[in-house]
Structures are given as structure tokens and as C-alpha cells.
Amino acid sequence: MWRNTQAGYGLAAQVLHWLIALLFACQLALGYLTQASADDPALQFRLYQWHKSLGFLILALALLRLGWWAIGIRPAPAGHMGRLERLAAYAAHSLLLGLTIVVPLAGWAVVSASPLAIPSYAFDLVVIPNLPLAASDAAEAFWSRVHALLAYGTGLLALGHALAALHHHFLRRDDTLRRMVRPFRKHAGWK
Ligand code: HEM
Ligand code: HEM
């Protein structure tokens, strides 16, 4: 039930997938809003604290998922897929998996390289120490560009990935999307 099999994703992979996908989408919007709220410093500060907290949560969940992925079985494709298509799907999934770790790390580098040295409070509960990076305006600007580029790039890749899933569901009519939402379908009483 929890683990993947050759035929499909287990409950753990499905719950982690949808939780991280949802948090990632919220986090993109929140990141954008931190930049759009520059004329209201109090609001901007609060948005930053939420953005950092959610970012650390995504990092923890993505590391957990990487561990689960490494020790588990990778299900065979649900529908018929050529060699190149399998390779593209594998590359896209591996990239998405890696980027959900690298993007928050780059965000963590932004705050660590900032000369302002503002501490990161995760959900107002724990202080997360900065990474051991040299702080300067130039280093902060560098990591800020890297973080933004990777975050929006991952958003685009995830969009392509979601469109591919819809293509499988509506045009090819195979089981690709259905087997990724199995627990929710069961809960709703669908077959
Ligand atoms: C998956 C997780 C994350 C995503 C998707 C994400 C996404 C974004 C986006 C879209 C922006 C706006 C970029 C722009 O328009 O210039 C942003 C800005 C920022 N993020 Fe993140 N972020 C994540 C995690 C983190 C984490 C963990 C931290 C810090 C601990 C962080 C710190 C920041 C900071 C400081 C900025 C402002 C950069 C600047 O001043 O230019 N982010 N983020
Ligand atoms: C509405 C949006 C999304 C849809 C419809 C969707 C759909 C799917 C489906 C159907 C699979 C299984 C593919 C297969 O059987 O070969 C899958 C796997 C995967 N998806 Fe998504 N996805 C979405 C968003 C995202 C996002 C935002 C991310 C990451 C940022 C992501 C990362 C992954 C990864 C890494 C896998 C590989 C399996 C795993 O380890 O969980 N997906 N997705």
C-alpha cells in the first residue's frame, strides 16, 4: 500500500507528489509577491517569513522523497511508450525531483549571503542557521538571480510535465494520471 510496485505508485509517493506540487505552486506565487510588495515593508517582511518557512518545508519533504525514491521501485510506464519517450519522462522526473531540492537551497543561499543577516524563523518555531557563505551585496545579487531563474524554470518544466500528464489522460486515454490519484479516487468512491 505504502510502497511503489512495478504496476504503480504507492501511497507515500502519491501523497508526497501532490503535497510538494501544491506547496511548490503556492511558493512560486509567494516568491513573486515578495517582490511585488516592495512598497509595503511590513507586509513584505511577513511574506518573506512565510516564503522562507514554506521553502524549508518543501526542502525537507523533497529530501524525504529523494530517499524514498532511491530505495523504492520505479513503476513501469502505464501506457505504451517508445524508448525516447521513456527517457524524456525519466529525465523530466529526475530533474523535477532534483530541482525541488536545489531551488530552496539557492533561496537559503540568498539569505545566507545577504549582508543584512536577517535570521530565518521556520513557522516562528525554530531558527534556521545560515549556510557558511561569504556575505556581500554582489554574492546576494548572484544567488538571488540564480534562485529566481531556477524557480521560474522549474515552474515552466512542471507546467510541461502537467500538460504531458493531461495528454496521457485525455488523448491517449491510458492510466498514467489515474494511478497517480488512486487514493483520492478511492476516497471519492470512483473505480
Ligand atoms: C521550492 C522552494 C522555493 C521556490 C519555488 C521559491 C521561489 C521564489 C520566487 C519565484 C521568487 C521571486 C523571484 C523574483 O521574481 O525575482 C523568490 C524570491 C526569494 N526567495 Fe524563494 N523560493 C523557494 C524557497 C526559498 C527558500 C527556502 C528561501 C530562504 C530560506 C527563499 C528565499 C527567497 C528570497 C530571499 C527571495 C528574494 C530574492 C531577492 O531579493 O531578489 N526561497 N523565491
Ligand atoms: C497539476 C500538476 C501536476 C500533474 C497533473 C502531475 C502529474 C504526474 C503524474 C501523472 C505522474 C506519474 C507519471 C508516470 O507514471 O510516469 C507524475 C510524476 C512525477 N511528478 Fe508530477 N504532476 C504535477 C505537478 C508536479 C510538480 C509541480 C512537480 C515538481 C515540482 C512534479 C514532480 C513529479 C515527479 C518528480 C514525478 C516522478 C514520480 C515521483 O517521484 O513522485 N509534478 N506527475
Judge whether 5 lies within some domain: no
Judge whether 136 lies within some domain: yes
pLDDT in tens, the chain (191 residues): 899 999 999 999 999 999 999 999 999 999 999 999 999 999 999 999 999 999 999 999 999 999 999 999 999 998 888 999 999 999 999 999 999 999 999 999 999 999 998 889 999 999 999 999 999 999 999 999 999 999 999 999 999 999 999 999 999 999 999 999 987 766 666 65
Judge whether 160 lies within some domain: yes
CATH number for the domain harbouring residue 73: 1.20.950
E strands, 3-162, in order: 120-122, 126-128
Judge whether 4 lies within some domain: no
Distance between CA atoms of 151 and 155, rounded to whole angstroms?
Answer: 6
Judge whether 1 lies within some domain: no
Judge whether 65 lies within some domain: yes
Distance between CA atoms of 91 and 97, rounded to whole angstroms?
Answer: 10
Judge whether 18 lies within some domain: yes
Nearest CA to ligand 2 atom 22: 162
Considering every ligand atom, which ligand is closest to the CA of 140?
1
For position 119, what pLDDT does the model report? 85
Judge whether 80 lies within some domain: yes
Structural domains counted in the chain: 1
Site to probe by mutation for ligand 2, drawn from 65, 93, 95 as the one with most ligand atoms within 8 Å of Cβ, is 93
Contact (Cβ atoms closer than 8 angstroms) between residue 2 and residue 12: yes
Range of the domain at 129: 11-187
